[in-house]
Structure 1
Amino acid sequence: MDKISRRDMTTAFAALLAVLALGATGYMLIEGWGFLDAVYMTIITLSTIGYGETHPLSDGGRIFTIALILCGIGVAAYAFSMMNALVVGGRLTNALRRKRMQAEIKKLENHYIICGGGRAAQTIGAELSRIGRPFVVLEKADEPCRRMEERGWLVLQGDATEDRLLAQAGLPKASGLFLCLPNDKDNTYLALSAKITARKDLRIVAAQVAEEAGTKLLHSGADALVNFGYISGMRMASEMVRPATTGFLDSMLRDARSDYRFEDVEVKAPDGFTLSELMAGGDQQWPVIVAVKTAEKGYEVNPEGSRRVLPGQTLVVLGSQAQTANLRRKVSA
């Protein structure tokens, strides 16, 4: 339930309890009944069941009963309608589902957090879901949250800039943070705030709306920026001058039947090895090594088989998820 629903529910049941207490107290004082008889008479009066009087009423008791009916039945009807909305309307189901969802989120480690629920955020979520990476989405609006929950995603509804919500999403244990809020100001604040509470190796990728916001986002802690205007322009130019290449890359991302991806594979084996040694064991078992990235020289594209890779260097590969997983296991040994 959202905050408004909880407030309405609390108000309705508080009013119902107040009327029950008032009715029971009135019968105890006016008629001298015991507590159980007084409560029973109040409930059958408010529920309009019509079982009759528990004991014969005095004139004062009848006047009190009339007042109780006039004042209390409306309160009881409102409380019962709220209870019906809670159960029949699905609010109870939603509350239980979100409680289970929060329990699942607490178990996550090395996951990703997506701040925002717009089209970019949902595209990120679809890709992470497709390649089997755990993630949580933080979004304020009801409708995007509903759509993402229907897809089976882990969603927390609220303001992504609040430290409380980031903590619920497991920021201290997350390995990546996507900043997809609709304005640079909030994304900049989030980048700065996350670096304070997150682990040191957290990677932050931020959407950049205005050209002049890039420097601020990087200084605030973002590791990479995506300028939608620039990316869109480059994509349109590529569609015009290199349609086959663009179509090939597009098919990997959009074809649900394809699990081929460009991936990063970090070398962790202490002694390193040549690429020929690495790829021994059958061409179908390994992905294609497109480039080697080093801190000193950047990218070395189409490296030779004699090229020796060392711990800390990164391989840029193209292959299926299974092929890439095989390579990751080998370079981590």
Structure 2
Amino acid sequence: MNPYQKLALAISSLMVIVIIGTVGFCIIEGYSFLDSFAVTISLLTTTAIGYGSMIPLSIPGKIFTLVLIIVGVSMVAYAFGTIISLVLEGQIKNLMGRSKMHKKIAGLKDHVILCGAGRVGYHVISRLVMEKVPFVVIDKNEETTKKLMEEGVLFINNDATKDEVLVEAGIKRAKGLITALAGDADNVFVTLTAKELNHDIRIIARGDLAESKPKLIRAGADKVISPSVIGGRRMAISILKPVSVDFVETLIHKKDFEFEIEEIITSGSSPLIGKSLQESQVKQQTGAMIVAIKRKEDIISNPGAAEVIVTGDLLIAIGTRTQLAKLEQLASTRNGKVYGSY
């Protein structure tokens, strides 16, 4: 039972006992509501406070009073014990911290939701933190979320497959969702639910089994990543082309490396529209190099000098941050960065 549930149980139990005591004295002894409430409180706190003379006269009233004292005092002891335990364990501070966290989560917009903070999710978190992308993590493991709290990561300690949990994470305001749960069935369920709640959200799903990929795609995933497949390919390429792999690894994953890869969408007002790569002189003007162009569903790899840029083209470019900033200004619309894996 988490701290919220313990505290809620203690407080709700006290309220129920007070209500039962107040109503009971009103019915059995005919006391007024205020007197019944005062007698109940004095019995629960073992203090008379001026109401000691109001002793139940009837047999049912005396029996009710004995039961109320036994049960009520036990519940008061449980409530105070719970509160003291939470204070000693530092849980009260955590509860206040979680309250602030929920407010921050409620204020998120155009953020990423990560479902699952296990072995795969941990690396996703590291990258999102590095890139300063707003995100929230959903994980039902208390030990995992405790570590996330220590690291200052926004999280929800609950089951990501529940609709209300995704809504709490801001699914309707989010721009992307990564489901990295250990079970493929759970990832399919999260994908289905997320697409139902937000048709426009981009979903990246983890799929360990080959047969899970088509199911995830049908469920609404935009891309399915298999950690084992990617790991195997990378190991093979690392033995065949070690220098190339090291370069790509440095280029994509090291924040302090001078060169970066970025995705930039061209707008209708861009001076690049209607010009070939040779005519636009992108390399000469910005220093950045366009290595691929995504046009609708097609990807043009290593485009030739005669390739004409059209509105909505997604330019995949490589260069320094300064060079990419110039190209971004030239294209006039920024979409974000691409993070690939070899």
Q: Same fold (TM over 0.5)?
A: yes
State the TM-score, normalizing by the size of structure 1.
0.77
For residues 75 and 234 of structure 1, do their structure 2 counterparts lie closer, same or farther at Cα, with a shift above 3 Å needed? same
Q: Distance in 1 between matches of 2:44 and 2:69?
A: 11
- Asked whether the 8 Å contact 1:293–1:313 carries over to 2, the reply is yes
Name the residue aligned to 1:278: 282
Report the AA paired with residue 213 of structure 2: G
For residues 68 and 98 of structure 1, do their structure 2 counterparts lie closer, same or farther at Cα, with a shift above 3 Å needed? closer
Name the residue aligned to 1:288: 289
- Asked whether the 8 Å contact 2:44–2:69 carries over to 1, the reply is no
* Mean CA deviation greater in 117-126 or 68-77: 68-77
- Asked whether the 8 Å contact 1:113–1:169 carries over to 2, the reply is yes
Name the residue aligned to 1:49: none
- Asked whether the 8 Å contact 1:137–1:155 carries over to 2, the reply is yes
Structure 2 matches for 1:1-333, cutoff 5 A?
Answer: 2=3, 4-10=5-11, 13-14=14-15, 17=18, 42=43, 45=46, 74-200=74-200, 202-252=201-251, 254-255=253-254, 257-258=256-257, 260-270=259-269, 272=273, 273-275=275-277, 276-281=280-285, 283=287, 287-295=288-296, 298-301=299-302, 303-304=304-305, 307-321=307-321, 323-332=323-332
Report the AA paired with residue 250 of structure 1: E
Residues 192-239 of structure 1, C-alpha deviations (whole Å, 9 max, x = no match): 222222143x22111111111111111121111112221111011122
For the residue of structure 1 that corresponds to 2:211, the secondary structure is: helix
Q: Distance in 2 between matches of 1:186 and 1:166?
A: 13
> How far apart are 1:260 and its partner, in Å?
4.4
For the residue of structure 2 that corresponds to 1:312, the secondary structure is: coil
Q: Distance in 2 between matches of 1:223 and 1:308?
A: 27
Q: Distance in 1 between matches of 2:56 and 2:192?
A: 69
For the residue of structure 2 that corresponds to 1:308, the secondary structure is: coil
Q: Percent of aligned pairs with the same residue? A: 26
> How far apart are 1:256 and its partner, in Å?
5.3
5+ residue gaps in structure 1?
A: 47-51
- Asked whether the 8 Å contact 2:261–2:316 carries over to 1, the reply is yes
Q: Distance in 1 between matches of 2:259 and 2:110?
A: 23
For residues 94 and 175 of structure 1, do their structure 2 counterparts lie closer, same or farther at Cα, with a shift above 3 Å needed? same
5+ residue gaps in structure 2?
A: 334-342
Structure 1 vs Structure 2 CA RMSD: 3.8
> How far apart are 1:55 and its partner, in Å?
9.4
Q: Distance in 2 between matches of 1:184 and 1:71?
A: 48
How many residue pairs match? The answer is 318
Residues 84-137 of structure 1, C-alpha deviations (whole Å, 9 max, x = no match): 233343333222222222222222222211111212112112112211221121
For the residue of structure 1 that corresponds to 2:109, the secondary structure is: coil
Q: Distance in 2 between matches of 1:90 and 1:106?
A: 25
Q: Distance in 2 between matches of 1:234 and 1:137?
A: 28
Q: Distance in 2 between matches of 1:56 and 1:311?
A: 85
For the residue of structure 2 that corresponds to 1:205, the secondary structure is: strand
Report the AA paired with residue 108 of structure 2: L
* Mean CA deviation greater in 91-100 or 158-167: 91-100
Name the residue aligned to 2:338: none
Name the residue aligned to 2:339: none
Q: Distance in 1 between matches of 2:100 and 2:307?
A: 50
Q: Distance in 2 between matches of 1:56 and 1:240?
A: 87
Report the AA paired with residue 331 of structure 2: V
